[in-house]
């Protein structure tokens, strides 16, 4: 069996050599963080300084240093762990009632395993935040069972909440600079002195905060505030992370980076994390999530039997300048079941066994002016259609 740490480091070198400098850099930092070794941290931070100080996008001149660093990390043996897949949170038939004739969430059943990423989608007011806060033990569920299975257990509720990390949509204001806040968070988790500083710098580099480390909260953009929250969260070595709309207010590039980071962190072979996050960015969520929970009126998609509807049906989302008639003319009557238009995009439902490629071909033949097309047959996007 190949050593996962070595595979990770080789990947980092490969990314860097191919020119995916940022990805390689972040992967190397993850590998270095796995070592938990002060000497490695020092060496990596030396490289980080060079990397961050080079203003050109092309970092290929740093490949030698990068490799040296990667080899040093490789020298620290990290045994393969089998933590991924261990159940860490189990919620059965969770229900939250807010009084008679008021909103009811659930019943929802969730089983979170280490390394799992759960996406939570649904329109506003359908219970995403409620479910997250129940899982974060911030509010009490009206009925149902909720249990946690941390590697070291917990002594009391405060201890439980220390282990659960919930990042709300609007993270609280903090004062002072980035470094001090991260050091303050880390020192409470028993990491003091030199290691405290090194680990904080590692995390700052990992989340792209290096240039902003001396800034204050109000001086950071929304994206960097979210990165700060993630850095602070990860310093606590959490086993469960619950994020409420982490992508809100982020530009598309920032969204992609954050999602990629979440995935990398969740799937860490040393400290895999169970993650649940809610978002309105359906496609981005689906891209990184192992499972997506769709909530409508407080009920999960399983409970609504939505999953079964159109389970073998091809459903297309289409954005075009052409008219509805022109679209209809592109397909045989026998193929197209119905078209829905919400004012922005068309949703096309097809009958029988028809492939996405044949749809593309049919549209190309009619020379329609396509802005955007997507197969949403397996996506929760289809639930958002009325």
Question: Helix, strand, or coil here: 151?
Answer: coil
Contact region with other proteins (CB under 8 A), list: 134-142, 247-255, 354-362, 373-381: 134-142
Rounded CA gap, 41 and 202, in Å? 7
The span of 13-21, 186-194, 254-262, 345-353 binding other proteins (CB under 8 A) equals 186-194
Question: In the bound complex, what is the minimum distance in angstroms from residue 154's beta carbon to other proteins?
Answer: 9
- Distances in Å between the alpha carbon of 317 and those of 120, 234, 327, 364, 377? 21, 37, 12, 16, 9
Site string for other proteins, 285-324 (x = CB under 8 A): ----------------------------------------
The count of residues interacting with other proteins (CB under 8 A) is 30
Q: What is the DSSP letter of 171?
A: P
Q: Which is nearer to other proteins, 162 or 313 (CB)?
A: 162
The least distance separating other proteins from the CB of residue 106, rounded to whole angstroms, comes to: 15
Which of the stretches 24-32, 137-145, 272-280, 295-303 binds other proteins when contact is defined by CB under 8 A? Answer: 137-145
Q: Which is nearer to other proteins, 98 or 341 (CB)?
A: 98
- Is 140 one of the binding residues for other proteins (CB under 8 A)? yes
Q: Would you say 30 and 270 are in contact if contact means Cβ atoms under 8 Å apart?
A: no
Report the distance separating Cα 193 and Cα 187, nearest Å.
8
Quick check: 139 binds other proteins (CB under 8 A)? yes
- For 61-110, give the DSSP string: GGHHHHHHHHHHHHTS-------TT-EEEEEEEEEEE-STTS-EEEEEEE
Contact with other proteins (CB under 8 A) among 67, 111, 180, 260: 180
Task: Tell me which of 103, 150, 184, 349 binds other proteins, using CB under 8 A.
Answer: 184
DSSP letter for each residue of 265-277 = HHT-SSS--EEEE
User: Mapping DSSP to helix (H, G, I), strand (E, B) and coil, where does residue 314 land?
Assistant: strand
Establish if 102 lies at the interface with other proteins (CB under 8 A). Answer: no
């Amino acid at each position: 069996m190949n050593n996962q740490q070595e595979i990770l480091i080789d990947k980092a070198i490969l990314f860097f050599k191919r020119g995916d400098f940022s990805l390689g850099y972040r992967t190397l930092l993850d590998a270095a963080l796995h070592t938990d070794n002060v000497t490695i941290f020092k060496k990596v931070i030396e490289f980080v300084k060079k990397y961050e100080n080079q203003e050109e996008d092309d970092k290929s001149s740093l490949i030698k240093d990068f490799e040296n660093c990667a080899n040093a990390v490789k020298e620290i043996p990290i045994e393969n762990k089998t933590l991924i897949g261990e159940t860490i949170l189990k919620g059965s038939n969770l229900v939250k009632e807010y009084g008679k004739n008021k909103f009811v969430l659930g019943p929802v059943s969730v089983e979170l395993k280490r390394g799992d990423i759960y996406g939570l989608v649904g329109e506003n007011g359908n219970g995403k935040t409620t479910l997250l806060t129940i899982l974060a033990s911030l509010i009490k569920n009206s009925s149902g069972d909720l249990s946690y299975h941390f590697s070291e257990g917990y002594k009391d509720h405060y201890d439980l909440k220390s282990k659960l990390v919930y990042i709300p949509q609007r993270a609280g204001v903090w004062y002072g600079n980035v470094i001090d806040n991260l050091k303050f968070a880390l020192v409470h988790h028993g990491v003091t002195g030199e290691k405290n500083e090194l680990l904080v710098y590692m995390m700052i580099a990992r989340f792209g905060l290096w240039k902003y480390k001396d800034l204050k909260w109000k001086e950071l953009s929304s994206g960097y505030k979210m990165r700060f929250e993630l850095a602070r969260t990860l310093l606590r070595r959490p086993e469960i992370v619950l994020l409420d709309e982490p992508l809100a207010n982020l530009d598309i590039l920032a969204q992609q980076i954050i999602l990629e980071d979440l995935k990398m962190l969740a799937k860490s072979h040393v400290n895999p994390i169970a993650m649940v996050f809610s978002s309105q960015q359906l496609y981005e969520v689906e891209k990184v999530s192992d499972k997506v929970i769709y909530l409508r009126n407080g009920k999960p998609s399983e409970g609504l039997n939505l999953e079964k509807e159109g389970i073998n049906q091809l459903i297309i989302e289409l954005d075009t300048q052409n008219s509805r008639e022109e679209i209809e003319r592109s397909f045989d009557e026998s193929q197209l079941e119905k078209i829905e238009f919400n004012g922005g995009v068309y949703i096309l439902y097809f009958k029988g066994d028809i492939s996405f490629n044949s749809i593309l071909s049919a549209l190309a033949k009619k020379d329609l002016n396509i802005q955007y097309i997507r197969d949403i047959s397996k996506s929760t996007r289809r639930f958002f259609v009325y």
